[in-house]
Structure 1
Amino acid sequence: MHHYSPKIARLGNLGGEGLLRGPMATAPVAPAVSIPMVERLLTVLACCGRTADPQRVDHAIAGCTIRQFRQYTELQQLHFIDTIWEASCEPYAFDCVCDNMQDTAVLAGAPAPLPSSMRPTGGGPLAQGVPGPAFQRFGVGFRIEGSSHDDVNRVKAGGMSQQRLSDDFMLNHRGMRVDRTVIRTDPRARIWTGNHDIFNETAVCVSRSLFGAAAFPERNSRGWFYLWAINCRGLRGCDTEARQLHMPHGPWHWRPGEKAYRKIPFFHVLGYVRIQRLSCGPNGGWRFLVPPWASWDENATTPPEDDQRAYMQGELRAWVGQHEISDAYDFAH
């Protein structure tokens, strides 16, 4: 957790942990904060510094000093941490069905949201593929998750779940401690108050376009990953895109269109295929490769409907080859 708390010369080269646990130079003496509580506080401070509305965070902190935090009881410390979380990211329910979610029927110029079916044109700007609002028509979304056969077996056994539900994963893989905080106990999705993006670990995120899903898990990801086609019909989720489009002082939305779900059971998985992520481009965006032999490995138990299958196959075939996606197709700006 020390990377969340760089040592600062004017503070005697003490990092966050040292300030919260070390001896105090002046009276009154305050007790050391427990290691788990240090990690919870440093987690929220690190996150809100990048993604939250600074004015709301400053109001939540309300001038609290390190000494005051050390003097708090454990319950008071948790309440203080939750207050910062609430200022940093707002909760939204998983209550919207696919038919009511934002989709785009016609391709327009930036910064407008993109249609769900977008396809390459051999070096020129991307063009709309299937006409109309394809996400609402077919109910198919796309997501990258996992890079190994073990990941495939995990999804087959238990579906796709939010990362925050595993304290071990959050701490040891994401470097975040959120146990006992509102991020862990409140089941709703969270959207950051600063950049208006989804707090990824609080939902299972799906793109309504195949090329958009290929931007994940991170823009600079490299290697082979599994791309999944998801049957969003019958699922209730948080329409991140619609929330972003209605934020004041926009535009803030992700142009390929994102939807967020509490969980995706395996019977809502239509199929999967391996693609290669090639990091990001020199000026942002993302790069990926769909090999010529790529084909969907369908869910034998709940396979796609005929119209979904044709759509999935058409989108995959259109993207065979290596592609560099400009940042003009990323977040609206």
Structure 2
Amino acid sequence: MRVLVTGGAGYIGSVVTAALLEGGHEVTVLDDLSTGHEDAVPAGARFVRASLHDSAPVLADVRPEAVLHFAAKSLVAQSQEAPELYWENNVGGSLALLEAMRAVDCRRIVFSSTAATYGEPDQVPIPEDAPTRPTNTYGASKLAVDAMLTSYAVAHSFAAVSLRYFNVGGAAYGVGERHATETHLIPIALQVAAGSREALTVFGTDYPTPDGTCIRDYVHVTDLAAAHLLALPAPAPGEHRIYNLGSGTGFSVQEMVDAVREVTGHELPVVVGDRRPGDPARLVASSARIRDELGWAPEHTDLREIVTDAWAFAQSRRD
């Protein structure tokens, strides 16, 4: 299948691109490199540097049979400070992409959504029918694209899947997580272990959890890629499916600290900070629907495996 991957120079997009190539697909990557890295695009994929707003000529040339859509701005704090960037890129760019797809009669899409669409949940693990009440512009922009996909499925016979997940970790195909502005727990902890940060700040140790720290969901990037490949052929024209991807149990911040200490052999200094406003004690997604309908379940569920793979990638970047 001819597949276009938007955001394929980023962490998740590049791993999914490698998995697609391994599966025998013909892949073109579209990325503006605002946060991605050209050297992360796997050999064998064609790379085109362009924005979502300029995607029409690319699709007219490639004429893909399907699109996997990862390109987005994703910093929660920035989305609150400069919401216009998120409406312009995540929503406006996605609209331009869907119209470019419609122009070349490409109507199959898998969208990288987010569990941030749910906001602070009433129940955990979070099912797909939970109320969507995003607490930041990033989550709101992703929810808007989900709504867009539903309407395009109904009006224009798109076959669409939205995959919602929280945190991704690990590395695969020689690709791992690296951001100019790092906000994620695993890479920050590994930077402390590598000596490029002095300490890790843990925001709150008095939550109603077994060890007092927040519990969050983590999925290995290999399992995430597998879910995207399973989702690609799943929907029928006129159908928009929404699936959550998660571990079902989650890991606490303290468990993550312990795993990083064990894997790296570094003492990992920790500074305890105040709770961050709006941080729920536990955020975990239920994956029951995608398990029942597509047979997906995470295989790499050991936290130390996730950290080990991420650490190996981080160390390879230092060589």
TM-score (norm. length: structure 2): 0.28
TM-score (norm. length: structure 1): 0.27
